[in-house]
A and B are shown apart, each in its own frame.
Chain A
């Protein structure tokens, strides 16, 4: 089953991945990284491995596994 892994230190909480995910897998979480950004986290197991989040993420914070 496809899944994503967020490298939290790279995330700047811009929200692009949240916007483009067709299955609403990602959401901005409440935890913060060392820079103070509320990094995104996967919230369910509906990932289809389309890589949209990884492609639009400016900082390459999302890795996609299939």
Chain B
């Protein structure tokens, strides 16, 4: 009997992640590992992790990684890529890291068209620090810093990073995906593979925004978080390729 599916070897065999049940962070790092194995570049990959739950991957993944100061992952990745052009450099950032505190660095790196890949995990809330409102929080959605829900007058509107970066000339590839169904998991893997291939081909800045979940801080169980993504998140953040050049 042949084994046709098992966890990628890029996650340490004896480790179990500390993420909450149902968290897409685990799914996404699994997909990234599968892509790295398929492209046969595990040994020449360097990952720059952001601050937040995304930074927890450092204990589990089996390839080179570092953690950047909060929000500065794309700046650190820029240096790594320029110094070692042969290395596949990607950043792994949440919405608090990429779209809030690191907004300047993120947009600047995209504007320069750096030959790096950004995996941007958007779950509409700050996970690790306790459910504070993020720039990507939906209208009316409750957060610990917006107990009555997000109100436009006080908090503004949800930020669409793919569309914002689409205003720039330099980025090569922007796509928004999710992991809430098996089909979307497969599409996400394809998007990550394309983004990494773009970098290997020297095409420049690629970003995959993955609409993710946070059952713990959304206050729902994992299965209900899948429904929330389908009914609410994907209405605000429609999936698809925003740019491919």
Binding site for B on A (CB under 8 A): 3, 9-10, 12-16, 19-20, 35, 37, 49, 51-52, 54-66
Contact = CB atoms under 8 A, between A and B. Distances in A.
B2 interface: yes
A64 B26 contact: no
Given A14-B223, A15-B223, A58 B16 contact: no
Interface stretch (B80-88, B138-146, B180-188): B180-188
B80 to A, nearest CB: 28
Interface stretch (B6-14, B41-49, B228-236): B6-14
Contacts of B19: 58-59
11 contacts: A37-B21, A56-B179, A57-B27, A58-B23, A59-B16, A59-B26, A60-B8, A60-B11, A60-B26, A63-B3, A66-B4
A9 to B, nearest CB: 6
Contacts of A19: 223, 226
Interface residues of B, number: 30
Interface of B: 1-8, 11, 16-17, 19-27, 30, 179, 181-182, 185-186, 221-223, 226
A58 B226 contact: no
A66 B1 CA distance: 6
Contacts of B4: 49, 51, 64-66
A63 B20 CA distance: 21
Contacts, number: 80
Contacts of A35: 16
Given A12-B21, A35-B16, A52-B182, 10 more contacts: A10-B7, A16-B222, A16-B223, A55-B182, A55-B186, A56-B182, A58-B17, A59-B7, A60-B8, A62-B5
B227 to A, nearest CB: 10
Contacts of B16: 9-10, 35, 59
Contacts of B22: 12, 14-16, 58
Contacts of A58: 17, 19, 22-27, 30
Given A58-B19, A59-B26, A15 B11 contact: no
Contacts of B26: 58-60
A58 B188 CA distance: 13
A17 to B, nearest CB: 10
A13 B1 contact: no
B223 A63 contact: no
